């Protein structure tokens, strides 16, 4: 460790500029400052920054018409302004030196130092060097943010409220696919039913339900849900919590050693849920139970919602399913 420390100190001291280097003669004649070109470069970098920052804004605002065209326009203009600024810097702000022969390969430390001096002096026409560096950094940052923005399409990033809003509230009637009220006496055991909220948009993520009936003695619902299944009738979201497919299969226990209990099955990846135990996952890739909807039976024997779901409806994307559903 001692040897390594000494070597590091020697390297650091060796890289310090020597006083003689500060007094060395110029190799490249100084060029006259070009304030107009510098202002033009700053304007181009500012325009690139604005266009790059506009990309995530257009991406996030769904109400913008022709959104795809504006996305392409903002990104294309950002790259065009950056290219124009680079060309202007190369043509107007970098000193040009014409030589009749190529530079010799730097083999000696003195030659290497001279080459470094040559590079340093080639950009001395900048009178606003720091401001231009800041502008270039801002434009590069805006472009980087624009390029990373499409990654938000891998999962929800904006407008997550629709994932938590459902049409269900206390008293809302359950209807079948034809719009007829679902009667408690018509719900039979070992049968799979699909229900929707009366008068609501069926295309909403939280609208469709699966309804099944089990003997009340078989129910083992979580604490606080003892009265959610009147007469053994249970309702769960029809949207699988794995990838958002529709729960479309109802498995009856035909062979107790392998199928001891009734189950709701998603046909996409075979996530399997136990309706008797609050929709718990008993097989497959789903990461959380099916959200359960509390039910009640009104005076006419019709099934109604007694509230909202026990959890958020739909796939469990990271950071999205950490809030409660609301009507």
Torsion of CA 198, 228, 240, 157, to 10 degrees: 80
pTM (two decimals): 0.57
Residue with more model confidence, 199 or 30: 199
Architecture in CATH for domain 162-305:
3-layer Sandwich (2.102)
Q: In terms of pLDDT, which residue wins out, 65 or 33?
A: 65
Q: Percent of the chain beyond pLDDT 90? A: 46
Amino acid 19: pLDDT? 46
| Distinct helix (H) and strand (E) counts, the chain | 6, 11
Give the full edge-to-edge strand order of the sheet including 174-175: 174-175, 193-197, 209-213, 233-237, 292-293
> Worst-scoring range by mean pLDDT, 99-113, 192-206, 268-282?
99-113
Facing residues of 194 across strands?
210
Closest CA to 32 of 107, 78, 96: 96
193-197 and 209-213 strand pairing? antiparallel
- 3-state secondary structure at position 37: helix
Residue 3: the pLDDT is 81
| Gap between the Cα atoms of 98 and 313, Å rounded | 69
Q: What is the mean pLDDT of the chain?
A: 82
DSSP labels for 55-117?
Answer: HHHHHH-TTSTTHHHHHHHHHHHHHHHHHHHHHHIIIIIS-----SSPPPP--SHHHHHHHHH
Cβ within 8 Å of residue 251, ≥6 positions away: 259, 262, 263, 264, 265, 272
Quote helix, strand, coil % in the chain, to nearest 5: 40, 15, 50
Residue 104: per-residue pLDDT: 60
* Domain extents in the chain: 20-154, 162-305
Interval 81-136: pLDDT, tens: 999 999 988 888 776 666 566 656 656 666 666 666 555 655 555 556 677 788 88
More confident residue, 111 or 194: 194
């Amino acid at each position: 460790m001692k040897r390594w420390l000494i070597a590091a100190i020697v390297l650091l001291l060796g890289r310090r500029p020597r006083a003689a280097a500060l007094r060395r003669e110029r190799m490249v004649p100084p060029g006259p400052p070009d304030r107009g070109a510098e202002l033009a470069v700053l304007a181009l970098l500012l325009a690139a920054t604005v266009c790059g920052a506009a990309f995530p804004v257009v991406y996030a605002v769904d109400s913008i018409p022709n959104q795809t065209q504006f996305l392409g326009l903002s990104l294309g203009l950002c790259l065009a302004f950056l290219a124009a600024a680079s060309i202007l810097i190369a043509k107007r702000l970098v000193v040009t030196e014409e030589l009749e022969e190529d530079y010799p390969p730097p083999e000696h430390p003195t030659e290497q130092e001279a080459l470094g001096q040559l590079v340093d002096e080639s950009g001395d026409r900048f009178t606003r060097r720091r401001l231009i560096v800041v502008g270039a950094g801002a434009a590069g940052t805006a472009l980087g943010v624009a390029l990373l923005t499409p990654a938000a399409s891998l999962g929800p990033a904006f407008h997550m409220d629709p994932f938590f809003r459902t049409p269900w509230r206390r008293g809302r009637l359950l209807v079948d696919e034809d719009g007829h009220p679902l009667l408690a006496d018509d719900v039979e055991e070992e049968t799979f039913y699909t229900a929707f909220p009366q008068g609501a948009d069926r295309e909403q993520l939280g609208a469709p339900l699966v309804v099944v009936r089990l003997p009340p003695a078989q129910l083992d619902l979580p604490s606080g849900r003892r009265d959610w299944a009147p007469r053994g009738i249970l309702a769960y979201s029809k949207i699988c919590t794995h990838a958002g497919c529709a729960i479309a299969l109802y498995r009856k226990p035909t062979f107790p050693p392998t199928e001891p209990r009734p189950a709701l099955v998603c046909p996409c990846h075979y996530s399997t849920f136990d309706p008797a135990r609050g929709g718990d996952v008993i097989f497959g890739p789903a990461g959380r139970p099916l959200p359960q909807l509390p039910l009640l039976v009104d005076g006419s024997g019709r099934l109604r919602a007694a509230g909202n779901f026990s959890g958020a409806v739909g796939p469990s994307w990271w950071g999205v399913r950490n809030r409660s559903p609301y009507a």
